[in-house]
Amino acid sequence: MGFWPFGGREPANVESASQVVTAGTHRETLRGKLTLYFKEPQTRSAADRAAERCAQIAGDLLRENAEREALVGKEAELAAAIAARAPRGLPGLRAIELASLHVVTERTTQSRRGEPAPPVQDPARIAGARAPSNKPSPGGVSRTTGVPPASSRALAQASGAPPAVGRSTPSSIPPPISVRSPPSSGAQRARAAGASAARASSPGLIGSPPTVIAAALAPLLRDASTRLLLGCLRAHDLIIVRRVAIDPGAADQLAALLPVSEAPPGEFEASRAAEISRWHTVLGSPVISQLRTESCAISAQKARAALGAANIAAGVAGELIDALCRTAFPGLALSSAHVDRYAEQDLSELAAESMARILRHPNSRPLRLALGPLLDAVHGDVDGISRLAKASLGSAH
C-alpha cells in the first residue's frame, strides 16, 4: 500500500500500480489483480489513488456481469472496458492489465449439492480471511521499468477502443453507468467488512464469558482506531500542511481521507507501520501518542454505543468494553472518564476540537468536515463488533 504524502515532498518515480479487485455477485465472489501502467512516473500517493479508483470501476463491472462464463477468461475485454470508463483527472495510462480472474467462492454450490454448510470460523478470521497463496497477492505500488510484460494475461491499451464484455459485440456495449462517488464507496467497503463479519458467530464463542468474546473481537476494534488515526493524519496533511479548503462536494478529497485495510484483522496498523513512522518523524512521538489515545477513546465510545443499541445489558456491555480496550490497546491506560467524555456531546464536534488542540490548529471546522466519513466508517466497524458480540452472548443477554 502506498503511503500518504507529506507536504508534496514525494518523488515522482512510480511507473505502475497494482490493486487486488474482489467483487461479490449473486452467484459467486470473483477476484483478480488490476495493474495500471502510467505514461509518466507518478508520486506514490497519486498512483495509489488511481489504482483504487480503477479498482472501484472494475468491481462495478464484475457485479454488472454476474454470469461466470461472461467474466472468467475475458480479462482483456474487461480491462478495455475499465480503460473506457476511466474518470477524468486520472494520470495518463499506457495500459491497464487485469490478470488471474478467478472464482473465490460459489454461493450456490452448497444449495445445488444439498450439502451442509461448512462450520463458521472465528469472527476475527472471518473479517479478514485471505485467499490461498496461489491467488494473486495484495497489490501495492511498485517501481518498474520498460514496457508491461508480454504474457498470456489480458492487457488493454488505455487509448484503444474497448472490445465487448462477455457475449456483447463491440457495437452493443451498453453505455457506461455512473461510478459511485469514492467517499460513499469507501465507507460502504468499510461498513461491508464489519457487516460480513457480523453475519455469523463461531460456535465455540456462543455462551462464552464476555472476556473471551472480547478477546476474539479486539482485533476489529484495534483496526477501527487505526483507521481513525490514519484518517486524522491525512486530514492534518491536507488541511493544515497543504492548506487545502475542504469542499463537501469534492469526492476525491473526502475519499482520500478514508483508509481501507486489506490486512488481516488486527494488523491494519502493522501494515502501515512505515507511514506512521514517517508521521512520528514529522510531528513527534508525543503528538502521535495523543492522537492515538483520542482515536482509541472515540472507537471505544462508538463500540459502547453500538453494544447499547444492540440491547446488550449495560453491565455486560461495560465488561465487554473494558476487556476489549485491555486487549485491543495493550499498554494504553484508557480510563472510563476519557471514553465517557465523547458521550456527553456531539462526537464529531468534540473529536474535531480535540484534534485541533493536539495539532495546534486554530479552526476545528474543516477538521470536523473531514472527520465525517471517518466516523461513519468506524461506525460500520463497531456495528460488526456489536452484532458478533450479541450473537456470541446468546439470548440470555
Residue 114 neighbours by CB distance under 10 Å: 6
In terms of domains, do 159 and 226 share one? no
Range of the domain at 334: 184-393
Confidence grade of residue 164 (pLDDT, cut at 50, 70, 90): very low
In terms of domains, do 210 and 347 share one? yes
Tell me, what DSSP letter sits at residue 142?
Answer: E
- Structural domain includes residue 4: no
In terms of domains, do 169 and 201 share one? no
More confident of the two residues 12 and 216: 216
In terms of domains, do 154 and 200 share one? no
In terms of domains, do 263 and 130 share one? no
More confident of the two residues 115 and 301: 301
In terms of domains, do 28 and 71 share one? yes
Confidence grade of residue 2 (pLDDT, cut at 50, 70, 90): very low
**Contact residues for 289 (Cβ-Cβ < 8 A; gap 6+):** none
Among the residue ranges 123-132, 146-155, 372-381, the one predicted with the least confidence is: 146-155
In terms of domains, do 268 and 384 share one? yes
In terms of domains, do 118 and 245 share one? no
Helices and strands (DSSP H and E) totals, the chain? 14, 5
Among the residue ranges 3-7, 369-373, 378-382, the one predicted with the least confidence is: 3-7
- Structural domain includes residue 8: no
Characterise 379 by phi-psi region: left (phi > 0), alpha (psi -120 to 50), beta (else).
alpha
What was the pLDDT predicted at 67?
55
- Structural domain includes residue 339: yes
Residue 175 neighbours by CB distance under 10 Å: 4
Question: Residue 146 pLDDT > 70, yes or no?
Answer: no
318: three-class secondary structure by DSSP = helix
In terms of domains, do 18 and 133 share one? yes
The model carries a pTM of: 0.52
In terms of domains, do 217 and 256 share one? yes
Select from 290, 292, 304, 310 the least CA-distant residue to 336: 304
Q: In degrees rounded to 5, what are phi and psi of residue 155?
A: -140, 125
Q: Which of 131, 162, 179 is the last residue of a domain?
A: 179
Q: 242 near 160, Cβ under 8 Å? A: no
Question: Residue 143 pLDDT > 80, yes or no?
Answer: no
Among the residue ranges 144-158, 258-272, 338-352, the one predicted with the least confidence is: 144-158
The strands making up 93-106's β-sheet, listed across from edge to edge, are 141-142, 14-24, 28-42, 93-106, 154-157
- Structural domain includes residue 9: no
Rounded CA separation 156/321 (Å): 50
- Structural domain includes residue 286: yes
What would the DSSP string read from start to end of 164-198?
Answer: -STT--GGGPPPPPPPPPHHHHHHHHHHHHHHHHT
- Structural domain includes residue 99: yes
What was the pLDDT predicted at 303?
92
In terms of domains, do 270 and 164 share one? no
- In total, how many domains does the chain have? 2
What are 19-61's pLDDT values in tens digits?
888 887 666 787 888 888 888 888 888 888 898 889 988 888 8
What are 75-88's pLDDT values in tens digits?
777 888 888 888 88
In terms of domains, do 266 and 337 share one? yes
139: three-class secondary structure by DSSP = coil
Q: Which of 155, 179, 203 is the last residue of a domain?
A: 179
More confident of the two residues 141 and 283: 283
Q: Which of 141, 162, 179 is the last residue of a domain?
A: 179
- Structural domain includes residue 305: yes
Cell of 247: 469542499
What are 249-292's pLDDT values in tens digits?
666 666 667 788 888 888 899 988 888 888 899 899 899 999 99
Confidence grade of residue 224 (pLDDT, cut at 50, 70, 90): very high
Rounded CA separation 160/192 (Å): 35
Question: Residue 131 pLDDT > 50, yes or no?
Answer: no
Question: Residue 116 pLDDT > 90, yes or no?
Answer: no
Rounded CA separation 282/226 (Å): 18
- Structural domain includes residue 219: yes
